[in-house]
Each structure stands twice: as structure tokens, then as C-alpha cells.
Amino acid sequence: MDYSKEMELAKELAVKAGEAIMKVYETDDFDISYKEDNSPLTKADRAANDIIVPALKEAFPEYAVLSEEEKDDLKRLDNDYCFVIDPLDGTKEFIKRNGQFTVNIALSYKHRSVMGVIYVPVSKELYYGYKGFGAYVDNDKGKGIRLNVSDNIDKTALRMVMSSSHGDERVDSLVEKYNIKEHVSMGSSLKGCIIAGGEADIYYRYKPTMEWDTAAMQLIVEEAGGIFRQTDDSEMLYNRENSVNEIGFYILNSIENKLSL
């Protein structure tokens, strides 16, 4: 299938949302509130959502929408197509002002991620792709740069990405067990992007995540040749009744680099 129209609009909206996010980022007023799960919400989250969701609904009224900042309508379960959106992925990183936050827009078809766009507002890097098209990045080095995971399968020289805001003793155990010396902490879906670009090899996340955290990232990783699975090795699915991924996931550049606790 050709998802170029959906991708091009998602790219445009992600950049516009990123510009709105940066306007807030450059002020001292984030207007922070907290949701029921105690996760933070800022006016940047809301501004980005207000740019993305109405435009997607207008352009593709036949598609369902699942967004972190919208009330969930379970009628989406009757639709083969569903946009899965995180208007500001890495709100904690946004509040910390460390630049490690993204705009995530994905499209799922029959529960599989088939199109993904990730925009990094601070660096203005734009990652994108769709099923069978490949994964690419526009950055200060050029546009349409093809992404490919690394070919490193030396377990004595693995480069691991770790979460900036979600520490986990199980991940620490992997680092110790496999004597992983090179690891970097990073927020948001950037972790998947740098693996897709060959700058790191593995990422393990055992704690729960939401659909909108992973949908765009998964597509980009897989189109770059990587592996993206739940921690029980099962396939990650989208547009589910329960949007929580309870068991976590892993990203690998190669199946040879799969680790076990």
C-alpha cells in the first residue's frame, strides 16, 4: 500500500506542532497540570494536539484517531485504520528542558503500524517512513537520508540506549550481566530513532508504555531493518481496547543481540 499522502500530511503537521511546542519551550510558563496517572501535561501538549488531530480528521475522516490528549472513543476498534498520536512524547524531558522530546504520528492498519513520523523540535530532525517505503531522516546533513540499523553483532561491544526518566533494575541487570560499557540515557522516541540510524544497537524497556509511545517508532525501526517486539517476543499491536502495553518491549539492530535476564 502507498501511504505517501498520509505520511506527507503527518510530516507537515509534526513540524507545525513542533513549532508550537517550541514557542512554549522558550517561555517560563508551561502551565503544568497532572493527569489521573500523575503524568504531567503542559500547554505545549495541548497546543500540539490541537494542530494535529483536527487536521488529520479533516483530511482522512474515514480513519479513526487515538491520541494521548483526546478522550478515547472505542468506536475506533471497528475501524481497520487508526492514527496513533503522541503530540508531545517526553513531557518530562520537555519540563527538564533537555531537548529530548518528540512529536509522534503513526497510522495503524489492522493493528499493525504502517506509517510513522517523528519530529524532534529542538534539533529540527524529521524521521519518517511507511511500510515497504523505508525509513528516512531530514536533518542538518541533508534530506531523505536513508536509515539503516548497525551491523554490529559483537555482544562484547554493544551500544545500549537507556531511558532518561524511567530507571529499571532489570535494565541495570542486563548492563551488568553482559558487561555493557557503552550506554547512553535518552528520552522519548529518540531512542528508537538513534537505533534506526545505526548510532546504537539495543534498547530494553520492561515497564508499561502506551500505544502512542511506540507506534511511530516501531515503524521507523522496522523499516530501517531493526527488530521491535514485546518482551515476551510477541508482536506489538495497535488500536487495541487496552492501550497500555503492560509488559514492555525491546528494540534490536539484529536478533543476534537479543539479551536475557
Quote the pLDDT of residue 256.
Answer: 97
Furthest C-alpha separation in the chain = 51
Residue entry with cell 521491535: 228
Quote the pLDDT of residue 166.
Answer: 67
CB-CB neighbours of 182 under 10 Å: 10
- What is the domain class of 4-146 according to CATH? alpha beta
DSSP collapsed to 3 states, the chain? CCCHHHHHHHHHHHHHHHHHHHHHHCCCCCCCEECCCCCEECHHHHHHHHHHHHHHHHHCCCCEEEECCCCCCHHHHHCCEEEEEEEEECHHHHHHCCCCCEEEEEEEECCEEEEEEEEECCCCEEEEEECCCEEEEEECCEEEEECCCCCCCCHHHCEEEEECCCCCHHHHHHHHHCCCCEEEEECCCHHHHHHHCCCCCEEEECCCEEHHHHHHHHHHHHHCCCEEEECCCCCCCCCCCCCEECCCEEEECCHHHCCCC
| Structure confidence by residue, pLDDT tens digits, 107-164 | 999 999 999 999 999 999 999 999 999 999 999 999 999 999 999 999 999 999 998 6
- C-beta separation of 42 from 95 below 8 A: yes
**Check: CATH 3.40.190.80 for 155-257?**
yes
Quote the pLDDT of residue 29.
Answer: 83
Asked if pLDDT for residue 215 goes beyond 80, the answer is yes
| Structure confidence by residue, pLDDT tens digits, 56-100 | 999 999 999 999 999 999 999 999 999 999 999 999 899 999 999
The answer to whether the predicted template modeling score (pTM) of the entire model surpasses 0.85 is: yes
| Structure confidence by residue, pLDDT tens digits, 16-67 | 999 999 999 999 888 888 887 778 888 999 999 999 999 999 999 999 999 9
* Mean of pLDDT over the chain: 95
CA torsion sign for 13, 19, 20, 24 is positive
Cell numbers linked to 19: 513549532
Q: Is 33 left (phi over 0), alpha (psi -120 to 50) or beta?
A: beta
In the chain, where are the structural domains located? Answer: 4-146, 155-257
